[in-house]
Amino acid sequence: MSSSPAVSSSATTPPIVQAQALGPLWPTMDPFLFCAHHDDAYPAGNGAFAPAVSLEDRQIGSDFSRKDGWSMYHGDTVPGFPGHPHRGFETVTLVRKGLIDHSDSLGAAARFGGGDVQWVTAGKGIVHSEMFPLLNATEPNPLELFQIWLNLPARNKLVEPHFTMLWNERIPRLVHSDAAGRATTVTVVAGAVPGAPAPLAPPPESWASQPEGDVAIWTLRMEPGAQWTLPAARGQGTRRMLYFFVGDSLRVGPQEVGQHAALELVAGQDWLLTNTGATAVECLLLQGQPIGEPVAQYGPFVMNTQAEIMQAMNDYRLTQFGGWPWPEQDPVHGTEARRFARYPGQADEERPGAAA
């Protein structure tokens, strides 16, 4: 256990199995592979979607420096992640602030942000680009998101790729007021929450679509002093991580947590959460039944064996996973700050607010 925050306990069953300090990459547990919290204070744009400041002293093509509070990542002029392949798992992108432009080898495209969630099943192989266009040329362009990788079981490693958008306006939420009238808001990306509307359907081949998966992806916002009971997971053996990343302090059952941390919780019991600080608390919860299979990973390929990794690399060299239908590796979808999605093989665009 590394850099654990101060935690006090009582004679009751401790809810926190272990606590780890939050760094650039957050610790995860099977069935999750990866979790990153990007929070970039991008400056005004230059009218061509790029920062209106010098990029000197940055390692262009691989800039994770957070110089001046932001990074270019793998972008050359526009920040972001130009076309790159994936196989064998899923990416779930929750955007809290700012806009992302998605393009992929299926021909799908989207501009999303402000609470939207993009969910991509890579399956047998997809190439996609995620760029962060700086549309505002007179004001800063802040961007904040979670990038989560969810594994696929062996039987689904080579399913057909799938792209979907979960629009902010359609994502269900539970707003709970405690006895003192203090609110906790739970945003339900996946996995049912008692009292909230049913979650939107995850991709059909996702571990989150399998009843035995017991997958949950929730975000929580608690007003100062608010209390809410985190319900027990359904499945025996389900594991759960609560990432406390905004706020002063949080109490989980009898245990006080005084600094931001990834908290592995006992998943099979209800636990009373209490915001014990003077500011709002925010958390991300990731939960699931472990897939329990070997994991072989090489960069963007996640399979079960090294032989399958070699096959993935060879397949990508030969097929480019269907090719790249875009004229550049880092497409940007225009100057209008509108959110939309265009699905593979469709000419019409879906926009948030339209009928589901």
SS3 label, residue 147: strand
90 is in an annotated binding site: no
From the list 310, 307, 284, 306, the residue with the least C-alpha distance to 296 is 306
84 is in an annotated binding site: yes
| Cβ atoms 49, 133 nearer than 8 A | yes
Tokens in use for 297? 């990973």
Written as one letter, the residue type at 319 is T
| C-alpha dist (Å) from residue 90 to 40, 214, 297 | 23, 16, 13
Please, which residues have CB within 8 angstroms of residue 134's CB and are 6 or more apart in sequence? 42, 43, 44, 45, 46, 49, 50, 51, 52, 78, 79, 141
Q: Are strands 162-166 and 80-86 parallel, antiparallel or unpaired?
A: unpaired
Q: What are phi and psi of 316, to 5 degrees?
A: -65, -40
From the list 65, 77, 91, the residue with the least C-alpha distance to 328 is 77
Tokens in use for 286? 């990731």
Rounded CA-CA distance 124/304 in Å is: 13
Tokens in use for 101? 């432009």
| C-alpha dist (Å) from residue 222 to 37, 177, 186, 189, 193 | 19, 10, 9, 17, 16
Rounded CA-CA distance 217/264 in Å is: 14
176 is in an annotated binding site: no
Rounded CA-CA distance 124/158 in Å is: 4
Total residues belonging to the chain: 356
**Where do we find the tokens 């003192």?**
180
| Cβ atoms 218, 191 nearer than 8 A | yes
- Binding-site entries: 84, 86, 128, 130
- Binding-site entries for Fe cation: 84, 86, 128, 130
